[in-house]
Each structure stands twice: as structure tokens, then as C-alpha cells.
Amino acid sequence: MELHRLGIKIAAEGTDALPTDAFIRLFHRWIQQRALDELLIDVADYGHVHHGPGVLLVAHEGNYSFDEGGGWRGLAYYARRQSPGGLDAQLALICRRVLNACRLIEEDPEFKGKLNFNTSNLEIFANDRLLAPNTEATLKNLRPAIDALLAKLHPGATFVLTREPDPKERFSVRVKVSGNGSVTDLLKRL
């Protein structure tokens, strides 16, 4: 069995004044307009959960969410199904999907000028505690693929990874990058 339930969350800025209802409407529009290149199924509101998944857009291949986990807001995508290729290809696909969704949000008339994404502040996580327990060994195993992805996204930049210290939590690393590029720039680099 190969690890595939991985995700990436990109920090959102300017969201304090935006109610979660706005993301419910947005995700429903995406379903109606077939805005993404995968089958979009349903929207669930978890806004009542403190530091929870916020608003979830369920898709066939994975889930998108306007996430509030860890006490910070951002857009997350995590894969539910195995995609072709190894870990490097899997992370690149996940990153492409979350960045494309970020781009659509930044361009949406309801959000334009009110919200942007800080690509120098992100989280990479695993939703599989069996194959990726929250340990240093998991970080050591995933680090080459994470480094390869970050080198593509932010060439020449330095970055700091901080692993979630609580062993009871899922494996995740916060990534702080020395530079910042636009969502569109990063999509072009993938």
C-alpha cells in the first residue's frame, strides 16, 4: 500500500471579514459550472467546528476545503485516491489542484480584491495515520518529495519546515518560504 492521502493548505489573507457562507455559495457555483477538472459532488458546512475543516467541497478524487485548522485560514486540498506516478507526482498534482482553486477564488467577483493567498505560508499533511504516523521518521521519508516540490515552486528560496509536535495529531509540516510568488506564478512552475 502506498501513501496517497496527502494534502496541501495555502494560507489565505483578508478573510476576517468574509463569512463562511461566501464559500458555501462559491463551492455550489463550482459544482453547477463544473469549474474544476474533476467530478464535484457536494458541499458541507463545518463552520460550527472550532478550528475545523470550515466549508468542505467533496470531489471524487479528493476534497477541497476553506480550512480553519490550526487556528489559521487557508484553502486545502487532499487526495482521496491514488494517482499515477510516485510521491513526487502525487504532491505535484495535489499542489496544482489547490493552486488552481486558489486562482479561481482570487479571480471570482465576490472575492476579488478581498482575499489573496500567501504562497510562502503553507502546510503539507497526511490523512493516513497508519502509513504516515506523526513522527520524525515520516518526515525523513517524505522530505525528499517535499523538498523537490518546494524547489519547483520557489526556485532559489530558502524554507523552514516545522513538524506538528503532538504525536496524537495527524502528520503535518508547516512551511515558511523566504520568498513569495503569486498563485499564477507557482502554477506556471509546476
pLDDT-based confidence at residue 176 (cuts at 50, 70, 90): very high
pLDDT-based confidence at residue 85 (cuts at 50, 70, 90): confident
Q: How far apart are CA 101 and CA 150, in angstroms?
A: 19
Residues sharing a CB contact under 8 Å with residue 189, sequence separation 6 or more, in sequence order = 152, 153, 155, 181
Query: DSSP letter at 69?
Result: G
The per-residue pLDDT for 52 is: 80
pTM: 0.94
Q: How far apart are CA 46 and CA 24, in angstroms?
A: 10
CB atoms within 10 A of CB 34: 10
**Are the beta carbons of 9 and 118 closer than 8 angstroms?**
no
pLDDT-based confidence at residue 65 (cuts at 50, 70, 90): very high
Q: Is residue 150 pLDDT above 90, yes or no?
A: yes
